[in-house]
Each structure stands twice: as C-alpha cells, then as structure tokens.
Structure 1
C-alpha cells in the first residue's frame, strides 16, 4: 500500500443539492440588491404622500366663454360689459310751422263721367329737418271746389261732427288722408244742407280743387273735368 496516492472521497448527493441551493439563493439575493439600487421604490412612497396644503391642479376642461352684454359678469350686472356711451335723447317735437309742411290736393281721377263724384284727399309732407306735430283732424281740413272766380263747394259748409287728431310728422315724412271726401257735384251753402242744391255743369267743364289744413294752404290747385 506504501507509495500509492489516496483516492478522492466522493460526496453524497445531499451535499451537491445544498451547494446548488446556496448558489441559487446567492444569485437571487444579488439580483434583488441590484434591483433595489436601480428602482429605488422608497422614492415612489415619498412622492405619494399628500402635501400639507395641496393646491388644486388645473382643470383640463375647455375655458369658460368671455361674458357678453347678455351674460352676467362677476358683479352680476350685465350693463358692466357695455360701453359707457349713451344715445342722444330724441328731440321733442314742436308744432309744425307754416313753412315746415307742404300741402297738396289729391283726386282719384282727372276727369269724371256723368254721375261720377270726385273723391278728394290731402297729402302732407314735413319738409323740415326736425319732427313736428300737427292737428290733422276734420276740424282743420278744408276742401274747396271753384270754377273761375266762383266757389261751388266747400267741405265745411255742412260738416257734421268734426274731430281733432294731433300727429307727429318725422322729418321728411309724407302722409295722406285715410278716407277721401266726396264732392256730390252740387253747389254748397250753409243754408241748403238739408235741401235741394243746384248741380254743377258737366260737358267737360273745368273745376279746381283747393285744400288747406291747420291754416296751411296748398301752393297750387288740382284741376278736374266733369262730363
């Protein structure tokens, strides 16, 4: 037996299992330490702690519309959104002066066949640059029919129940009487309102219609012909 090297002893399987387990545990431990150093999970826990006085985070919704004149502002007064300008107060209308109103006679026709009665109206125009008031009632209207120097008919000779009506004419406004006055082709007088009256000659006879209102007389007459 002298001179021979001793034989190496073979370990049991249990020893090898323990060694492999220790090696695996060491690898796992080293990997866990490396992950802790890189990920630093304790920083996330600190960041998750609420602040002592948190300030509200900005909203991600669309901004509110800017207040307009029809929406209340923060003060609750819609007028705060309007400019500090006021419109000039309208001019107060005064009575129309004689030269401020133009008067014109109107008729429905220029010539009338036998049995047709002329329908007479009046047109008013405010020729001034300001509004004015005028009484356009039947108490102020006068219609006259003449032939040459002879007055044949006047609307006020037998007028019944005259009335007043004051209106405002704006600058440049033109108005006409709503209901015309009818001339029955007779000669009028205050003494013949309920009796027979002479008929005006026809056959192409010429007559002139004149109108006035509130003391303002038309500058010209309207010529008509009766047949």
Structure 2
C-alpha cells in the first residue's frame, strides 16, 4: 500500500514577508488616523484667536499697540500753525530813558504760551513797531517797509523769540510820505504788532 504524502501547512518565507509588510502598513495607517484625530480635538479645545475675528491685539494703556501687542512709541507730531491764544506778544525797550544822542532800541518778544510746538510767521510782512505820543501817531515801520517777506519759524512751548528795531527818532506817515517834523523830548509809547496780535504799550523817555 502506497504511503499518502502529507502537505506542509507552514507558510513559505515569501508569504511570511508579505503578511508582515501588510501588518506594518496597517499600523502606520492607524497611527496616522490617531494623530489626525488628536490634532482635531486639540484645535477644538484651544482658545479662539482674538485676531481671527478682526478685533486685533488688545490695546495697552499708556500707548498704542503694535502688531505684537506690545506698546509702540507715540508718533511724532509735526508742528502746525499756532492756535489762537498760543502766541503772546510783549513790547519793551532796551532802556527806559534815552539821552539826546541815543536812539531807542524797540524790542518785540514773541512767546509760545501753548502746550505744543507751533509755526509762526515772524517775517517783515507781519511785524510792526509803532510809536505814539499820546494820541499822536509818530512812527510805524509798516509805513515804509520795502519788499516785505514771510519768515516762518517753529517755537517750542515756553520758548520765545525777539525782534529788534532801532528807531532813529524820525517821524513817518502811511505810504512812506516825507515828514520833516522831529519828535521832541518827552514820554512815548511803543506798541508791537505781529499779524493780528498786538502787545500792550510800554513807555519810554526821550531827552
């Protein structure tokens, strides 16, 4: 009687490698699914980004905030035209009393009494040094100003600029008409003007 041949059920080495590769691929796919699920859950639990709805970073007290939410330096402010009440005009003379051969030096002081830098026109087109004797108009620089100019300067808060004019004891008239009369000894009043601003009158003496 012939002996029956028994076939081996053990997989071959090629089949074993295929099965092992399939198991590794399945493990990689499962790990990827778990990682994707973990990222999705974390995004749901994460606080919402305040910038996502257009609200932007929270402003910090005491300064404007930049893109990082940190305070940024305040922008520099360019000087502008002086506001009403910012500029004060004062009239004075170098001396109170002047001898017969001494010409008075008239002084206009322009002070920024505001809180910010501002630009002011101090050109000859704006200045006027006028001298009065009682109600008698003696002299004014605006009578004979030639080629008036505009000169704009920046004055800081609390700072001042001065303009000086030496009066040679002559009379003047509008339109720079010739006047032969000479001022006599006595007390005179000097008033300074800058544009629409007018100082208080200061007194000085001619001998």
- TM-score of the superposed pair, with normalisation by structure 1: 0.57
Residue by residue over 1:81-114, the C-alpha shift from the partner in whole angstroms, topping out at 9 and shown as x without a partner, is xxx6532112222211231111001211111111
Residue by residue over 1:154-189, the C-alpha shift from the partner in whole angstroms, topping out at 9 and shown as x without a partner, is 111111222111011112212212xx2121212211
Of residues 183-192 and 160-169 in structure 1, the stretch that sits farther from structure 2 once superposed is 183-192
Question: Superposed, which structure 2 residues align to 1:202-217 within 5 Å?
Answer: 202=185, 205-217=186-198
Query: What CA distance in whole angstroms lies between the structure 2 residues aligned with 1:137 and 1:188?
Result: 21
- Is the aligned partner of 1:183 residue 2:172? no
SS at match of 2:120: strand
Residue by residue over 1:41-61, the C-alpha shift from the partner in whole angstroms, topping out at 9 and shown as x without a partner, is xxxxxxxxxxxxxxxxxxxxx
Is the CA contact 2:127–2:195 (under 8 Å) kept in the aligned structure 1?
yes
Give the drift of 1:225.
0.2
- Is the aligned partner of 1:155 residue 2:136? no
User: Match for residue 156 of structure 2?
Assistant: 170
Residue by residue over 1:123-178, the C-alpha shift from the partner in whole angstroms, topping out at 9 and shown as x without a partner, is 1111111111110011100111011111110111111222111011112212212x
Is the CA contact 1:188–1:197 (under 8 Å) kept in the aligned structure 2?
no
SS at match of 1:98: coil
User: Match for residue 203 of structure 2?
Assistant: 223
Query: What CA distance in whole angstroms lies between the structure 1 residues aligned with 2:161 and 2:179?
Result: 35
Runs of 4+ in structure 1 deviating by more than 4 angstroms, as ranges, are none
- Is the aligned partner of 1:143 residue 2:129? yes
User: Match for residue 113 of structure 1?
Assistant: 99
Q: Which has the higher strand share?
A: 2
Residue by residue over 1:197-220, the C-alpha shift from the partner in whole angstroms, topping out at 9 and shown as x without a partner, is 211011xx11010001121111x1
Query: What CA distance in whole angstroms lies between the structure 1 residues aligned with 2:79 and 2:175?
Result: 41
Is the CA contact 2:173–2:179 (under 8 Å) kept in the aligned structure 1?
no
Q: Which has the larger radius of gyration?
A: 1
Count matched residues: 138
Taking a change above 3 Å as real, the CA distance of residues 131 and 154 of structure 1, as seen in their structure-2 partners, is: same
- TM-score of the superposed pair, with normalisation by structure 2: 0.62
Give the drift of 1:196.
5.1
Unaligned runs of 5+ in 2: 1-69
Query: What CA distance in whole angstroms lies between the structure 2 residues aligned with 1:125 and 1:213?
Result: 12
Q: CA RMSD in A?
A: 1.7
Query: What CA distance in whole angstroms lies between the structure 2 residues aligned with 1:191 and 1:215?
Result: 20
